[in-house]
Structure 1
Amino acid sequence: MRGLPGRGGPPLDLDDSGSAAHLVSRRHAWGVALAVVALAATDYIDRQIVVSTFPYLKKEWGLSDTALGALVTTVSISIAVCALPAARLADRWGRVKTIVAMGGAWSLAALACAVSGNYAQLFGARSLLGVGEAGYAPAGAALLSGYFPQRLRATVLSVFQAAGPLGSVLGVVLGGVMIGRFGWRVTLGAFGVPGLMLALLFLKVRDYRTPAVPGTTTHGTGTDRDKELTAHQLHFQQPRLTVTLRELFRSRTAVWCYLGGALNLVVLSTLYTWLPSYLSRAYGLSSSQAGVRAALFILAGFVGSIVFGHLADRCAATRPRHRLMVPAVLAASAWGLLFTAFGVLGPGDVQYALVVAAGLPVAAALGTAPAAVIDVVHPSMRATAVGMAALVQNLFGLAVGPLLTGVLSDAFGLGKALAVMPLFCLAAAAAFRLGSRSYEKDLAAVSGDGPVATPPGTHEMELSR
């Protein structure tokens, strides 16, 4: 891919001087961002496309809604279990190497889903899908946070996280179209090969070094920061576990963002998983029709993630704490729209319009929450911090929504379940509000950490060697 930094030349260095400049040229930085988003989109296609197969799996294997929801929940649990170890691997082994390994692993797992002979095998393959995905978000977010300045962090990470709604849209729409023509096996495995090819593309992307944290040891060749190192000599900081845990939970802001992001994702994962089924049952739509209409809600989330992430950055320019007040206000508004749609109204045009409108604010925290976490931790632990966020958000957010909704649906009906679940948005709003109160203090504590300000063209010269 033209515009991606190649591996020729010395690795990129970060120090603790702070900067408002890009680490590399804007062209290179956005080229890397595009590649990261493209691979992340295949991640969410592989994760979400299974919901289009629910009617067929329910009929072929006689599955309950709880069992179907578990096919989504197991991915989140696997991510939660493996996220922190995989994130530490990214900080120690390298962000780019981790992206290649994880992208390849989940793509192979997606192919395994296609050849499953029974529910247990499919459940196992879906679990392995989550293992492969566990390290990608931390590594990708950490890579982008180094390539872009802090003032653009929520915007850039919102673009990255918007790959979730984008991939989910493609998964639901393409899954709905493919399932009737090719069957559920081809549908589940269709994007394994493209994902594997995109993962291998990252072999051409350069990584960067970060400054050490007190209590950290380093491994590599050479210690002179002025010495030029070739790509294979790149080394990364390796904090002790006690240092890592202290840094991850030192900031109250980070803790509230972990929790707020998880609570928000309970609702988001619920609707991404069950809205196609609800539209099919309540509106009498076919799988492809329900997939297309559900995709509008997910597409609204894609737009909302980017627009409101940028809004959070703009508001933070006047006062930093507003970076978290934006998702707090929007999470509360999402509850109002969704409760009215499912708790007050019945199936119809007005209900559907409110649900689609709710897709905008419900995704507002996708990039803003991890951006705030990265803001308040040492740069050498960015991937690990995002890994901790992924652990909490998957275990207490993405894993909860689909399964709990399936349980409530079996007991009370899917419509009532969807009316209750948006309450988690109110809890998320409270968490972000509390996080905003400590954000400015925690940000000041690490204000010296960031990319090095370099004259225009400096890294271009290094990359062209």
Structure 2
Amino acid sequence: MIPRKRWAYVIPVAVVMYMLAYLDRTNVAVILPYIGGDFPLSAGAKGLASGIFFVGYLVLQIPAAVLAAKWSARKTVLLLMIAWAVAAVLCGLVRSETQLYLARLLLGLFEGGVWPAVLVLLASWFPQAERARANALWMTCLPISAILMSPLSGFMLDHMFWRWVFVLQGLPPLLWAVVWWFAVADRPARARWISAAEREYLETTLQAEEDAKPAFAKQGYRQALANRHVLLLVGVYFFWITGFYGFSLWLPSVVKTMTGGSATAVGFLSAVPYVLALAGMVACAHWSDRTGNRRLAVTVPLLVAIAGLLAGNLVRWPAAVQLVLLCVVATGVHMPYGPFWAIPSRVLGIEVVAVAMGLINALGNLGGFAGPYLVGWLTDVTGAATTGFVVLAAFLAVAAGLAFFGLKPATVEESAHVPAATRHP
């Protein structure tokens, strides 16, 4: 039986770290409806304030990925953690709409390199047969953050000025940076807590996977960035994330309209869909690792999300039914995360996969700008958010189509008949 300390040491520390990042990224969705007294914002301005984060987000994707692969993922994330905490605090100190945009832009800049850097870290700790689960367990930070932090933001808004909410939620990354520094190692050979048996298993298995990759997987940076699989994954991720963030960042506003409740009530109800999303992510990743079928693990949840998004916006439902449909959409857009991010390291060698993942995340996350801004702009033009959400469903449909018809099973799917030691962490 192979020791499994990597699951207890690497994943939890990374989960908390990115929970804090995701909180500082998305708390704006809960806070923006309560800013009005200082500088009133139109729906389009709110969408821009939410989405401009992703303009900064793309800048450091590839540089941070290269630093993580060539220098140290641990040190790269540490520096970015400190910088994004400062930017998050600045969001509470702004005095104008323009300053709010600038602070959000800087927050996106510093958070941008964290995602690919952690993916590089996980690729050095978890073999392919475990990677969808490792990715998904780390990425549970997204729904967990929403479950815990949306109610927290709502509660804080009911008891303090919105500026203090930004400031106080920006400070925890500075404390967690200390934990990160002492608990995380770049690879098994540098970890003090790992056993000799686990270290040998990981180094042998990971090296064997690298040696088994086809010649095209070991090309240079330029060829890797032009690889059709990488470009296809960029397309899938862009259309998916447009729908994902367009939905996620506007969810509190929808709930507020549904309930007319206090900030605390909005926060708690906004957390409900993410409870199901959390369970769905883990289940989908486990199924994907067990069967090796990455393509369907990405496509089917997106189709479920489309159905929920259209049903919720084209038909008038009671509030309880609307909340159920929000749960369906949240689950559908979260489930593909683990399987999707297991694909790049399947088709590319470790030398270049960091750059490819940085490119996919950078260009794909432009959808994080497009989604919120599109919903806000269409709301201003039409007077209702329905048209925007229907358009987001169309974006998700394109992502599902690209994934199903573009990702060749022989390339991105793995044999389900892997050794038991690798199949069951």
The change in CA–CA distance for 1:28 and 1:336 in structure 2 (over 3 A counts) is closer
The change in CA–CA distance for 1:259 and 1:127 in structure 2 (over 3 A counts) is same
> CA separation in 2, counterparts of 1:184 and 1:72?
16
- In structure 1, the partner of 2:411 is 441
CA shift, 1:29, in A, is: 4.3
CA shift, 1:209, in A, is: 9.4
> 1:410 aligned to 2:380?
yes
Q: Given that residues 347 and 411 in structure 2 are in contact (C-alpha distance below 8 angstroms), is that contact kept between their aligned partners in structure 1?
A: no
2:329 equivalent among 329, 353, 358: 358
Q: Given that residues 84 and 111 in structure 2 are in contact (C-alpha distance below 8 angstroms), is that contact kept between their aligned partners in structure 1?
A: yes
**1:111-131 alpha-carbon deviations (Å, 9 max, x no partner):** 121222222222211111111
**1:32-85 alpha-carbon deviations (Å, 9 max, x no partner):** 111111100000011111111112223431111111111221111111122122
Alignment of 1:31-430 (within 5 A): 31-204=9-182, 205-208=184-187, 243-250=220-227, 252-316=228-292, 322-395=293-366, 397-412=367-382, 413-430=384-401
> CA separation in 1, counterparts of 2:159 and 2:320?
29
The change in CA–CA distance for 1:125 and 1:408 in structure 2 (over 3 A counts) is same
Sequence identity (%): 27
CA shift, 1:376, in A, is: 1.2
Cα RMSD for the two superposed structures: 2.4
> CA separation in 2, counterparts of 1:403 and 1:112?
22
Deviates more, 1:199-208 or 1:356-365: 199-208
Q: Given that residues 252 and 270 in structure 2 are in contact (C-alpha distance below 8 angstroms), is that contact kept between their aligned partners in structure 1?
A: yes
> CA separation in 1, counterparts of 2:272 and 2:105?
28
Q: Give the match's secondary structure for 2:224.
A: helix
**1:331-389 alpha-carbon deviations (Å, 9 max, x no partner):** 11211121011112345222221221222222122222121112211112333222112
Q: Given that residues 343 and 412 in structure 2 are in contact (C-alpha distance below 8 angstroms), is that contact kept between their aligned partners in structure 1?
A: no
List alignment gaps of at least 5 residues for structure 1: 1-20, 211-241, 317-321, 448-452, 455-465
Q: Given that residues 79 and 390 in structure 1 are in contact (C-alpha distance below 8 angstroms), is that contact kept between their aligned partners in structure 2?
A: no
CA shift, 1:436, in A, is: 3.0
CA shift, 1:105, in A, is: 1.0
Q: Give the match's secondary structure for 2:284.
A: helix
> CA separation in 1, counterparts of 2:394 and 2:268?
26
Q: Given that residues 78 and 177 in structure 2 are in contact (C-alpha distance below 8 angstroms), is that contact kept between their aligned partners in structure 1?
A: yes
Q: Which runs of 4+ in 1 moved over 4 A?
A: none
- In structure 1, the partner of 2:418 is none
> CA separation in 1, counterparts of 2:8 and 2:399?
31
> CA separation in 2, counterparts of 1:403 and 1:155?
32
Q: Given that residues 294 and 412 in structure 2 are in contact (C-alpha distance below 8 angstroms), is that contact kept between their aligned partners in structure 1?
A: no
2:8 equivalent among 30, 49, 65: 30
More helix by share: 2
Q: Given that residues 254 and 372 in structure 1 are in contact (C-alpha distance below 8 angstroms), is that contact kept between their aligned partners in structure 2?
A: no
> CA separation in 2, counterparts of 1:422 and 1:169?
24
Q: Give the match's secondary structure for 1:81.
A: coil
Q: Given that residues 343 and 416 in structure 1 are in contact (C-alpha distance below 8 angstroms), is that contact kept between their aligned partners in structure 2?
A: no
TM value normalised by structure 1: 0.78
What one-letter code is carried by the residue in structure 1 that aligns with 2:381? A
Q: Give the match's secondary structure for 2:328.
A: helix
CA shift, 1:406, in A, is: 0.4
**1:275-329 alpha-carbon deviations (Å, 9 max, x no partner):** 211221243222221221121123322222222122211221xxxxx21112212
Q: Give the match's secondary structure for 1:351.
A: helix
TM value normalised by structure 2: 0.85
Q: Given that residues 342 and 418 in structure 1 are in contact (C-alpha distance below 8 angstroms), is that contact kept between their aligned partners in structure 2?
A: yes
> CA separation in 1, counterparts of 2:10 and 2:86?
23
